Amino acid sequence: MATRSLIKTRWQKTSRDDEILAALTRCPLTAEEMFKLSQTWSQPFTSLRRVQERMQDLSAAGQLQAWRYATTGQGGARLYYKLTLTGYRTVMQDDQIKPPTKRFFHEISPGRHRHQRALSQFIVQTYLAAHVRGIKVTDFHPENTFRIDCGERPLWPDARFTLMLPNESQFSYCVELDNSTESVLSHKSTDSILSKMQRYLIDLVAAPQSYRVLFPVTGSADRLQHIVDLARNLTDGRSFSPFYVVLLDDYLAHPDAFFRPCFHAPQNKNISLLRSQARQFQVRSALLARPAFV
DNA sequence: AAGAGCGACGGTCACAGGCT
DNA sequence: AGCCTGTGACCGTCGCTCTT
């Protein structure tokens, strides 16, 4: 038998290791989240235990590093894994490449744990939802790596990605995870939801490729309603709004998340993201010459 | 104390590649 | 062809840590 100490000193990369490393370029993940995500791979893991073991082996090989989430759930604190610089260079196949952000390989500060956990769950679910419908997720930008210049201060979405449907139509999204830590309506704060929506609307007028902004909400249904109401006020009188709001728990509840009526937009309650968007896409194509917003 | 996550360890099985 | 070796996947158990 191959002992673990041998693996530590002589690590051999498998195709599954490539998937693990690639997944961690998108966001930090726990073993449980990696197990879920692996169901979209050609060789899914068959047990959580095995995922933990492999992540441990990769850590011993210097490819990953683990820290504990300050959880409030039952049982011990979960580990979350991030790439090391070595691991990042392995997956990018470039031994000179620089980190995408300053803190990309650093421990997450405790104040960000809830936000990060929710964002990672959202991203994993997005890949699962795409997988069950044969949709490809392309052009993925992790948190703080996609800059949108608009107005006096740039926007840095929590994630940015494109969905490519089997019929080759494409939809792009920015993600703004709402942890109820920012005020919804504040004309002073540049981090308020209002300020972000205004800046997205400015950018969408000039953007060469249209996109939607998703607001997964970890808080209450009231919070969700406040955000939907704000979007309605901002886009009142227009045929559609680029903002889609969803309770994170609803989004995570079923693998077919894109086609379940769990999203809320100013013009409609309980709609599915892709069914409604595919319809809008046809309308938009016909009216492309007309400016869309503001 | 109970429950959950995880590290460490020892084991089996399958497969690939090298050697005789 | 048969054997040996190395490796990855997988399984079960034990003990530790942490939270409720």
Mean pLDDT estimate for chain A: 80
Q: Which fold has domain A112-287?
A: Trna Endonuclease; Chain: A, domain 1 (3.40.1350)
DSSP letters spanning A18-54: HHHHHHHTT--B-HHHHHHHGGGSSS--S-HHHHHHH
- DSSP letter for A104, please: T
Predicted confidence band of residue A161 (pLDDT cuts 50, 70, 90) = very high
pLDDT at res. A115? 85
Distance CA A57, CA A7 (A): 7
Residue nearest to nucleotide B8 (CA to C1'): A4
Please give the CATH number for the structural domain made up of A2-108: 1.10.10.10
pLDDT at res. A164? 95
Q: State pTM to two decimals.
A: 0.85
Listed in order, the ranges of chain A carrying CATH 3.40.1350 are 112-287
Listed in order, the ranges of chain A carrying CATH 1.10.10.10 are 2-108
Chain C positions under 7 Å from a protein CB?
A: 6-13, 17-20
Question: What mean pLDDT comes out for the span A261-286?
Answer: 73
**Cβ of residue A72 lies below 7 Å from strand C:** yes
Predicted confidence band of residue A245 (pLDDT cuts 50, 70, 90) = very high
Quick check: A30 and A78 in contact, CB under 8 A? Answer: yes
The string of pLDDT tens digits covering residues A35-55 is: 888 888 877 777 777 777 778
**Cβ of residue A9 lies below 7 Å from strand C:** no
Instruction: Give Cα A184 to chain centroid, integer Å.
Output: 21
